[in-house]
Chain A
């Protein structure tokens, strides 16, 4: 019998601290597999966010630095500009990237920093108990939108990929999901393409992964992936938002 699928080398053999059914573990694994397959583990410097993935350095088997909330794109800029030969990516949640860190996100993208961002969108602040995020859906009930998100009070969900697509500096932007194996395969392909974009020196790449947060959504893991499929991705359509990789020589 031959082992054909198992934990990638770029993941440590640790028990993940995420809640049962949470998508973070899948996304960690996809990033780790891509790094293994691209052979860049030993030159990777990753930036962990503030939020549920704050402990990413306990799970990833390569160099990882902490960052203040929202600042990973700036931190990654500092790392990559002084070490252009290293492989640099940030792993960020919706609050981190699109609320407190929106300025850092937009400007890193606009400078076309040759970094990759893995953006985990689960429509709420997971770590702090499920408050409204910039990506919370209209009508979605959270800890801080007990009557459902009302655009008159709380504005609209931010579609980050579409927002960033207007910037000349962005090279590759794709939104993927991980609610079933078919989409997980597509998500991995997108992450790998984004990483390759950086390796080829083609500038800013970001993959937005629509994920689930069963505990804070008050759902079972199965109900949560059903909600992603039936509701979440209706507001956040999947697919390539921008890809000019092939037009950059």
Chain B
């Protein structure tokens, strides 16, 4: 495997790991499966692309995150204040975002940024002719990932962070405490979706194009990475689990890249991530059911033998 291929895998893995970190907050901490992730990722990409095309590469990051916050707010508001089921709220917002995203891109489903000034080209220019030039992309992505990790580490230690964790951990307790679950759910989803938007924005600028399908299947891919990380670090402290989340997305990318080397077609990515999610969730369940199945078989066999 060539080094540049590994580097690309690492870069793509790190960009999507920001979405994985977003799901760590909404899925692992708040215990809400946010199905608007796909649409929000694309939202970040399209908003980021439009702002970058207008000549503001740094502002594009902020704009994409704000768009994410807005989308998270709508999803959270629907499920806490409007009586929409949490999964349905995500699906509805996701569907709505499809139109919103095309509208943002001015009616097009593809925006080309080949000659556009982005955060990547900015740093590339700044480091030009220096020894670090070939790593400029990686540096941009690393800055973003490290920022998100540190933010989450400190955020989850604050009073509001603890309240968000309690909301996901024991709804019974929160219901009879002075924590307002409506507030924690909405804030949690806003923060998580800000990161999803950031992730989408970076992905579009990295690929030099934003298209309407950029986020399709993102929630499953990210969940697969998250659950891989969980395998090793489920009952550890928060910082370790954040690191585990990163490791999970890295392992996922690595496996995927290796599989591509063995001539697996690229379109298999989503099937693989679906299978991983199924295995990670059903595995523990099936394991707990195994003794019962074995016992049922034994009883049936004894019945036959005695007959």
A and B interact physically: no
